[in-house]
Amino acid sequence: MSCMLRLAIQKSGRLSEDSLNLIRECGISFVNSSLKLKTESTNFPLEILYLRDDDIPGYVADGVADIGIVGENVLVEEGKQSLTVEKLGFSRCRLSLAVPKTMEYDSIQDLNGKNIATSYPNLLQAYLQEQGVQANIHTISGSVEIAPSIGLAEAICDIVSSGSTLISNGLKEVERVFKSEAALIANEDLSEEKREILDKLLFRVHAVQRARK
Ligand code: PRP
Ligand code: ZN
Ligand code: MG
């Protein structure tokens, strides 16, 4: 079998559809099944792995996947920005602090001594420190938005895109911590063969981006 480039994308979440659309718009065909975790293109030397977004930077750094599409939020949280090849301009979102909509909130100082649930402890800690706020960070891996209603925390810090998850959980956005978009990342020691495939892919990605403008 000839050389293939392994691309990791988010299995299900905000980035999944946008990532698949980019690949399709690049003229790369593949059979997409929601049950399979791996698929091969029928007309380009690309294999697609469907993973949890949080796992993508680590897999690319270790070479389990050669390249990946992931949010800068995950990359920066995990300290792996150096893997970035380029920003992709889609799946824009922000990491924000939110509190129950009934809570009186005047400034970030109101979070002093409070419990904050998040999946982004590093980004949050850096922000709180910069703002001179001391709070207790509770790291949880998902369903962060329900933390206040079950008494786990007074506030949360999570990704906001449309804002509908916050609204359905009775929360209001009070501070923006970090702005993010999708980025293409690559392993730092790709073979020459793989690098050539990546260059071909990037050529197509740039054409798609020009056409979208
Ligand atoms: C984020 C966040 C919410 C959702 C918010 O999840 O955790 O679940 O997006 O979007 P909305 O404002 O449009 O409602 P994400 O897809 O980043 O990944 P995750 O499943 O790893 O949390
Ligand atoms: Zn995730
Ligand atoms: Mg989520």
User: Pick from 197, 199, 190: which is nearest to 66 by CA?
Assistant: 190
Helix (H, G, I), strand (E, B) or coil at 114: coil
Start-end ranges of CATH 3.40.190.10 in the chain?
5-91+181-212, 93-179
Write the class of the CATH domain 93-179.
Answer: alpha beta
| Interatomic CA distance for residues 91 and 21, integer angstroms | 12
Query: What is the Rg, in whole angstroms, of the alpha carbon atoms belonging to the chain?
Result: 19
Q: Which fold has domain 5-91+181-212?
A: D-Maltodextrin-Binding Protein; domain 2 (3.40.190)
Neighbouring C-beta atoms of residue 81, cutoff 10 Å: 12
CA of 192 to the centre of ligand 3 (A): 37
Ligand 1 atom nearest to 52, measured from its CA: 21
What the block records as the tokens of 177 is 């911590």
Q: pTM of this prediction? A: 0.93
Tens-of-pLDDT digits for all 213 residues of the chain? 579 999 999 999 999 999 999 999 999 999 877 678 999 999 999 999 999 999 999 999 999 999 999 999 999 999 999 999 999 999 999 999 999 999 999 999 999 999 999 999 999 999 999 999 999 999 999 999 999 999 999 999 999 999 999 999 999 999 999 999 999 999 999 999 999 999 999 999 999 999 988
Q: Is the beta carbon of 158 within 6 A of some atom in ligand 1?
A: yes
Angle in degrees, CA 78, 79, 81, rounded to 5: 110
Map tokens 């390249």 to a residue.
67
Q: Which ligand is nearest to the CA of 71?
A: 1
Mutate which of 10, 12, 14, 176 for ligand 1? The one with the most ligand atoms within 8 Å of its CB, which is: 14
